[in-house]
Amino acid sequence: MKTGVIILFVLITQLASAQKKFANYSSIDWNVLNIEASTPAELAQKLTSPYKTDIEKVRAIFSWIAQHISYGHDQNTSTSRHSRNHNTIEEGESVDTTTALIPLNELVAEDVLKKRIAFCYGYSRLFQCLCDDAGIPCEVINGYARGDSKRIGTNFRTNHSWNAVRLDSSWYLVDVTWASGYFTYNSNEFVRHFDDQYFLTSPDQFALDHIPDDLRWSLLLQTPTLDEFRHSPYKGRCFVKYNIVSYWPSEGVIYVSIGDTVYFHIQTDLEPDRHIGGGSLDDSLVLAPLQNAVYCEPINIDKNNTINYTYVVQTLSAQWVQLVYNGDMILRYKLDIRNEREHN
What integer pLDDT is reported at residue 338 of this predicted model? 83
What integer pLDDT is reported at residue 17 of this predicted model? 46
The answer to whether the CB of 292 falls within 8 A of the CB of 320 is yes
> Do 21-225 and 234-343 show the same overall fold?
no
What integer pLDDT is reported at residue 208 of this predicted model? 87
How far, in Å, CA of 235 to CA of 139, rounded? 21
* CATH code that applies to domain 234-343: 2.60.40
Q: Is 49 in a helix, a strand, or coil?
A: coil
What integer pLDDT is reported at residue 73 of this predicted model? 62
**Domain residue spans of the chain:** 21-225, 234-343
What integer pLDDT is reported at residue 1 of this predicted model? 45
In 153-267, alpha helices (H): 203-206
Q: Count CB atoms within 10 A of the CB of residue 2.
A: 7
Q: Count CB atoms within 10 A of the CB of residue 261.
A: 9
What integer pLDDT is reported at residue 9 of this predicted model? 43
How far, in Å, CA of 317 to CA of 4, rounded? 18
The answer to whether the CB of 265 falls within 8 A of the CB of 248 is yes
Give me the average pLDDT of each 10-residue run along the chain (344 residues): 43 46 81 91 94 95 93 49 38 44 78 89 93 95 75 72 94 93 68 87 91 90 81 88 90 93 91 59 60 89 90 90 90 86 46
What integer pLDDT is reported at residue 257 of this predicted model? 93
> What class, spelled out in words, does domain 21-225 have in CATH?
alpha beta
pTM of the model: 0.79
